[in-house]
């Protein structure tokens, strides 16, 4: 559950990225965030992850007021979220398996848990057979699936994806969206920022359009 | 696709047992950053060796002071014509002087006897009336700071002729030893700061070379403690290696130097073995301490600035 109460964000440079946003995203929803370049979509996600703090208003995630949580609680907040980047953010000196295992190690998972969980998740995204490959040996769509596997491996309650299909071809994009949809069907909240109208139209879900830092449209 | 039913169970499996992994990561860093690591080890090594050399010098000097020493005992020689009987009354006079804690008569016979064994021919030749040595009195002073005044008082007595300056030598040696002590304090301070600086830079370099990984770790919810551990391991290991190398280096250097010195000036050097334990302990504590501190400095700064946010987007 994500709640925004009259949230605004002004960057130190003076840019008003968000102006009084209020909304609520319930657990298990599938939400597209759309809008022109510079509209404030990424800023919206950064506020959820608490990579940025709002200049005004209140953000509550799973009952926790983000303005009240202590710095050392931030990592635990982030474990609730799986994040997918447009540019995949994979470590090329590690193979696919280790890229996914890395996310579990980073939160202190046991070797045993890693050994059980990683193959399972790789199977899930259809990449079990490429576990020993390096990311650079994979196609864009495959790399994004690795990054999705990494986002999923710690069992987050929500997936946050900023233009996950921005760097891959349309056919692969469709596959990624299908995967996100399947993940959503299991109860995980999914928030996807995208430019691609065709994708938005091909999948059911709530669509929030941001324009100049304000919500222009919010519909199903 | 039923990954959610495993949720509770897998949560419980998260703990700090990834420690082995983190320690391994620390060693990887050292290896991937060989040149900087070697530079850090070199600087810390030099720092420790110099510190150790200063300490060994200091220890030897104070040992020498003790040897020369009985340092507050001064031998006052009486004029040649002063007999043993007269000497006793001189001794009474000396005892009355302020700051004199005690006197002991050291007859010319005792003096010549000290040659026995070492210079037997001299000893035999100089028996009885042939003994050219004067009677003397060994004076113990209560406070060496008043040495000069006390000596002046003693020398006012007519029968006194001269005095041995063992006290002077002791004073000079003590002065040298405290000078070494002072100088080494500054040298050690400056070198520690340099070592700290170099190590924290080495670790900062590692951190920058791994900023991408760190940002991914932070984005999946790694705690700062967790991010820190490999770098602390790196710092500690650099410190430990430097300490071990400098213990061996110091031992080698000391033994070679002492052999050299002793072949020219005979003196009782302190064997390295007798201080090896203390020195090793100090070196390891200092090396690991500086390494850890250097790591903490650079990580603290990094996590406050760049590392707190998820890099780029
Ligand atoms: N760190 C920052 N410092 C200053 N200004 C920023 C920062 N990040 C974003 N902005 C500005 O805030 C506004 C909103 O940016 P944001 O990245 O949220 O847009 P966006 O909707 O994600 O755009 P795009 O579709 O191009 O990714 C833009 O004008 C941008 O220049
Ligand atoms: Mg953006």
Q: What is the pLDDT of residue A116?
A: 92
pLDDT, tens digit, 9 for 90 and up, residues B13-29 = 334 455 676 677 777 77
List of chain A residues whose C-beta atoms are within 8 Å of the C-beta of residue B17? 108, 110-111
Q: What is the pLDDT of residue B5?
A: 39
If phi over 0 gives left and psi between -120 and 50 gives alpha, with beta otherwise, what is residue B158? alpha
Going by pLDDT thresholds of 50, 70 and 90, the confidence category of residue B224 is confident
List of chain A residues whose C-beta atoms are within 8 Å of the C-beta of residue B214? none
The stretch B85-110 carries a mean pLDDT of 83
Mean pLDDT score across all residues of chain B: 78
Q: Do B10 and A113 touch (CB under 8 A)?
A: yes
* Lowest-confidence pick of A10-19, A183-192, B106-115, B255-264: B106-115
C-alpha dihedral over A163, A166, A171, A174, to 10 degrees?
0
pLDDT, tens digit, 9 for 90 and up, residues B114-167 = 766 666 666 777 777 777 788 888 888 877 777 778 888 888 888 888 887 666
d(CA A100, CA B220): 11
Q: Report CA(A152)–ligand 2 centroid distance (Å).
A: 22
- Residue A46 to chain B, least CA–CA distance (Å): 9
Q: In chain B, which residue's Cα lies nearest the Cα of A79?
A: B221
**Is 50 exceeded by the pLDDT of residue A207?**
yes
pLDDT, tens digit, 9 for 90 and up, residues A67-118 = 888 888 888 999 999 999 888 889 888 899 999 998 998 888 888 889 999 9
- Any idea which residue has 């090594």 for tokens? B45
Q: What percentage of chain B exceeds 70 in pLDDT?
A: 82
Q: What is the pLDDT of residue A167?
A: 85
- Ligand 1, residues at Cβ distance < 6 Å: A 11, 13, 15, 17, 35, 37-43
Q: Which value does ipTM take for this structure?
A: 0.87
Going by pLDDT thresholds of 50, 70 and 90, the confidence category of residue B12 is very low
The stretch B215-219 carries a mean pLDDT of 86
Q: What is the pLDDT of residue B313?
A: 40
Q: Report CA(A52)–ligand 1 centroid distance (Å).
A: 12
Interface of A with B in 157-196 (CB under 8 A): 162, 182-183, 186-188
> Among A10, A18, A43, which residue has the most ligand 1 atoms within 8 Å of its CB, making it the best to mutate?
A43
Q: Yes or no: say if A191 and A45 are a contact pair by the CB < 8 Å rule.
A: yes
The stretch A30-56 carries a mean pLDDT of 92
Q: Do B226 and A111 touch (CB under 8 A)?
A: no
**Is 60 exceeded by the pLDDT of residue A177?**
yes
The residue among A91, A151, A80, A86 whose CA lies nearest residue A121 is A151
d(CA B107, CA A190): 105
- Any idea which residue has 């004199």 for tokens? B100
**Is 90 exceeded by the pLDDT of residue B244?**
yes
- Residue A207 to chain B, least CA–CA distance (Å): 22
List of chain B residues whose C-beta atoms are within 8 Å of the C-beta of residue A82? 220
Q: Which domains does chain B have, with CATH numbers?
A: 17-67+172-305 (no CATH), 73-165 (3.30.70.3040)
First-to-last C-alpha distance (Å) of chain B: 30
Q: Which domains does chain A have, with CATH numbers?
A: 26-50+79-219 (3.40.50.300)
């Amino acid at each position: 559950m994500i709640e925004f109460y009259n949230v605004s964000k002004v960057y130190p440079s003076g840019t008003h990225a968000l102006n009084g946003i209020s909304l609520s995203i319930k657990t298990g929803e599938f939400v597209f965030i759309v809008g022109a370049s510079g509209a404030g979509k990424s800023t919206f996600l950064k506020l959820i992850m608490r990579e940025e703090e709002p200049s005004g208003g209140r953000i509550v995630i799973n009952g926790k007021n983000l303005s009240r949580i202590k710095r050392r609680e931030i990592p635990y907040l982030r474990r609730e979220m799986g994040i997918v980047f447009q540019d995949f953010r994979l470590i090329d000196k590690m193979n696919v398996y280790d890229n996914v295992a890395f996310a579990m190690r980073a939160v202190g998972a046991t070797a045993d848990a890693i050994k059980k969980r990683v193959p399972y998740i790789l199977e899930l995204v259809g990449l079990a057979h490429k576990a020993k490959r390096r990311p650079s040996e994979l196609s864009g769509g495959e790399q994004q699936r690795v990054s999705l596997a990494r986002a999923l491996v710690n069992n987050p309650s929500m997936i946050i994806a900023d233009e996950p299909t921005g760097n891959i071809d349309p056919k692969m994009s469709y596959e990624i969206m299908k995967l996100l949809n399947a993940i959503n069907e299991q109860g995980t909240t999914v928030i996807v920022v995208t430019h691609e109208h065709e994708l938005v139209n091909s999948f059911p879900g709530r669509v929030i359009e941001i324009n100049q830092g304000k919500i222009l449209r919010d519909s199903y | 696709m039923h990954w959610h039913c495993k949720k509770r169970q897998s949560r419980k499996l998260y703990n700090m047992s990834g420690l082995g992994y983190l320690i391994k990561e620390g060693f990887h860093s050292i290896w991937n950053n060989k040149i900087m690591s070697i530079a850090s080890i070199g600087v810390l090594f030099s720092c420790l060796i110099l510190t150790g050399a200063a300490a060994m010098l200091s220890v030897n000097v104070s040992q020498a002071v003790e040897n020369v020493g009985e340092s507050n005992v001064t031998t006052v020689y009486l004029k040649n014509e002063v007999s043993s009987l007269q000497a006793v009354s001189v001794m009474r006079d000396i005892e009355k002087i302020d700051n004199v804690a005690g006197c002991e008569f050291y007859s010319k016979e005792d003096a010549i006897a000290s040659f026995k064994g070492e210079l037997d021919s001299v000893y035999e030749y100089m028996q009885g009336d042939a003994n050219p040595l004067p009677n003397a009195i060994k004076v113990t002073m209560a406070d060496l700071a008043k040495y000069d005044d006390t000596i002046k008082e003693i020398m006012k007595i007519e029968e006194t002729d001269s005095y041995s300056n063992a006290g002077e030598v002791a004073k000079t040696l003590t002065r040298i030893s405290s000078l070494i002590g002072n100088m080494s304090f500054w040298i050690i301070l400056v070198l520690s700061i340099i070592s700290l600086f170099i190590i924290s830079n080495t670790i900062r370099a590692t951190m920058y070379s791994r900023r991408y990984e760190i940002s991914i770790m932070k984005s999946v919810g790694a705690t700062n403690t967790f991010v820190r551990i490999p770098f602390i391991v790196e710092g500690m290991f650099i410190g430990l290696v430097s300490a071990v190398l400098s213990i061996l280096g110091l031992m080698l250097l000391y033994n070679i130097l002492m052999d050299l010195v002793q072949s020219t000036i005979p003196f009782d050097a302190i064997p390295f073995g007798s201080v090896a334990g203390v020195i090793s302990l100090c070196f390891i504590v200092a090396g690991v301490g500086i390494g850890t501190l250097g790591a903490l400095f650079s990580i603290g700064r990094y996590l406050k600035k760049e590392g707190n946010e998820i890099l780029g987007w």
